[in-house]
Amino acid sequence: MIASLASVRSAAVAVPLLLAGLTSAAESPFKVDSREDILKSAKTLAEDLMALYEGNKPGKIPGILPGPPSDFSGPYYWWQAGAFMSTYIDYYRLTGDDTYNQIVAEGLMWQTGPNYDYLPPNQTASIGNDDQCTWASAAIGAAEAGLPDVKGKPSWAEIAETALSTMAHPSRHDDTCDGGLRWQIPPSNLGYDYKNTISNACYLSLAARVAKFTGNETYADIAGDTWDWLVNVGFIDEENYRVYDGGHVQNNCTDVNKAQFSINSALLVQGAAYMFNQTSDKVWRDRLTKITDATLENFFPDDVAFELPCEGRRDACNIDMRAFKGITHRYLAAATELAPFLAEGVLPVLKKSTEAAVKTCTGGESGRECGFYWSEGKYVKPEAVGKVGPFNVGEQMNVLAAVEGLLVDPATGGPASPDGPTETNTGAGPNQTGPAGSGAGRFEVGVMTAMVVGLGALFVTA
């Protein structure tokens, strides 16, 4: 039994998780019974979520959600803003609605840093490989979706490739644990002694996406090598395809933390789908099939998204984990576009899970604020973190991601290359002739490894 669950960062600043009360059940204003319903619901959900963003307001920093908790300016760390941007990139790609493109482009570019690699100096105190990778994944997603480049700046694809190159640099890799990325980038950061799945799974997925977009097989090799490392170090269990959190370098990663988070599995689904799409290789198909089946089995009991390590206790899912469901939905939906053979098993589950999600959207003054506990079928007010809000970005982002994901079309074959569709890729972005096909990724996600303190177990998260 888990006694408590909080991120290392949250624990470091002693931010409490406070449980608020329940509200009575009511009928949700959001429907997903038809394409028209889905588009209408997604439009309103996108409006409501954007109302929580302050980066486009005078005096505020573009690309940032209220935070970080360490300076008491809000509950959100940098990675979650990258996931936020990716959610709107997918919204544009799947709906064709360009309402938020300028805001997203401004935020994406503002956060690139002086070298256009998503290593901004003001994030150094807490930046991890997973954080940088979440933002770089948003950039490659922007390229895939056809988000217009910013005049006089590198293209979105160039920015993603630059960030990936910094992650691949030998300085990020050492011989401890026989390789692999550490969680944190600066040696002075708490967590630098930890190698985790989120950093390496995001690296794998990003490399696979950049490989597909650029045609550079070197990046595909990175994806394959990283998968092998995750298996060899014990973070992917090939017996059951459970995906574990990480291990400490001082123990050569033999102290495998067996916490399972949906984002880790979902990132591997996405990465494997991109690799299968490019190679049609039986090895990648087998990996993709098994990791997808395990993700659905572990994180969708009764076909409704459930964050396994923390959701059993009302106050156990921290502010990071409360954003994982939407990211997982987006990656699974994208995988069906890249590997259409998955659609029959995945899409009905995502539909049922989304139906449960929108039923929670009956709270707040608007009567449509969304909750996190989808399996309960009713709104539950989000737990407050600290004294400065909003506290429901993750919940709103989850439901928007789930709803927009219902618009995927497996017949598209995945995202188009810069030169247009190939034989195995008949997709087209909103600026072309039809719906596009890939999930943009975070932290997205993500992003996280969490510290679970209970029965002597120590789980670390971003």
The DSSP call for residue 156 is: H
Residues of the chain with confidence (pLDDT) below 70: 1-25, 415-462
The DSSP call for residue 97 is: -
Give the span between the Cα atoms of 453 and 310, in whole angstroms: 12
pLDDT confidence of residue 240: 97
pLDDT digits (tens, 9 = 90+) for 216-269: 999 999 999 999 999 999 999 999 999 999 999 999 999 999 999 999 999 999
Q: Are 374 and 356 in contact (CB under 8 A)?
A: yes
Helix (H) or strand (E) holding 242: strand 242-243
Burial category of 164 from C-beta neighbours within 10 Å (exposed 0-12, middle 13-18, buried 19 and up): buried
Residue 247's domain is classified under what CATH number? 1.50.10.20
pLDDT confidence of residue 386: 76
pLDDT confidence of residue 69: 85
Secondary structure in 3-state letters for 287-323: HHHHHHHHHHHHHCHHHCCCCCCCCCCCCCCCCCHHH
Write out the residue range of the structural domain in which residue 179 sits. Answer: 4-458
- Supply 102's token pair: 């300028």
pLDDT digits (tens, 9 = 90+) for 357-368: 999 999 999 999
Dump the DSSP string for 248-282.
Answer: EGGGTT-S-B----HHHHHHHHHHHHHHHHHH--H
Q: Are 439 and 455 in contact (CB under 8 A)?
A: no
Domain count, the chain: 1
